[in-house]
Amino acid sequence: MKKTTRSTLFFAFILIFLSGMFSLATADDDSKEKGHESSQHEQNDDDDDDDDDDERHMRPVNNSTYKAACGACHFAYQPELLPSASWLKIVAAHDDHFGESIALDDESTRIISDYLKKNGAETSSAKRAVKIMRSIDDETPARITDIKYIRKKHDDISSKVLEREAIGSLSNCTACHLGAERGVYDDDYVKIPE
């Protein structure tokens, strides 16, 4: 009798051991698959948690002087889209701004420069500002659309598409990024106009 109990226990142990091994093996498979997926769609996966974490989006423009002066001809780009050094160059060259001249009095220039200096990409922990800084090394890009990271993200968009009346150029972020004003550039909120 004693012997039977012992062998029953032995078999039970083997069973538990085997099922343990089995679930370990499948758990491992799961995590491998997830790891694989997330490296393939890294962007998408990351973007999902962005929705719960406003810290990782860019801050909407909240400076009225900047918005009035720099949002008159195009979208008032978030300061986090370029390093301060780029912004200060742009402001300093306001007489010769991509073929236009921006009228700026001294007081506005001071307020705008101050705002851009305090909020440039290098000051930000927003995910895409960090990627912008990583992508430019020590350069001082003259445009957001010159940044390698930004160019790469838009590689698939043909010049034919950019020429569409509702778009015009890649500089027109708000044409496609429905959340651009709010600082949201997730691909969940992108719609290319026909």
| Cβ distance to ligand HEC smaller for residue 91 or 136 | 91
| Cβ distance to ligand HEC smaller for residue 121 or 175 | 175
User: Tokens at residue 137, please?
Assistant: 């090394």
The contacts of residue 123 (CB under 8 Å, 6+ apart) are 80, 84
Backbone torsion region of residue 183, taken as left when φ is above 0, otherwise alpha when ψ lies between -120 and 50, otherwise beta: left
| Cβ distance to ligand HEC smaller for residue 30 or 45 | 45
Residue 156 to residue 117: CA distance in whole angstroms: 33
Amino acid 164 reads R
Q: Which stretch binds ligand HEC (CB under 6 A): 14-22, 24-32, 65-73, 117-125?
A: 65-73
- Are the beta carbons of 192 and 161 closer than 8 angstroms? yes
Residue 115 to residue 123: CA distance in whole angstroms: 12
Tell me how far, at minimum, the Cβ of 28 lies from ligand HEC, in Å. 30
102 lies in the site for ligand HEC, by CB under 6 A: yes
Give, as ranges, the residues between 33 and 52 that touch ligand HEC (CB under 6 A). Answer: 43, 47
Name the residues that contact ligand HEC, by CB under 6 A: 43, 47, 69-70, 72-74, 77, 81, 90-91, 94, 97-98, 100, 102, 112, 128, 143-145, 150, 153-154, 157, 161-162, 167, 169-173, 175-177, 185, 187, 190, 192
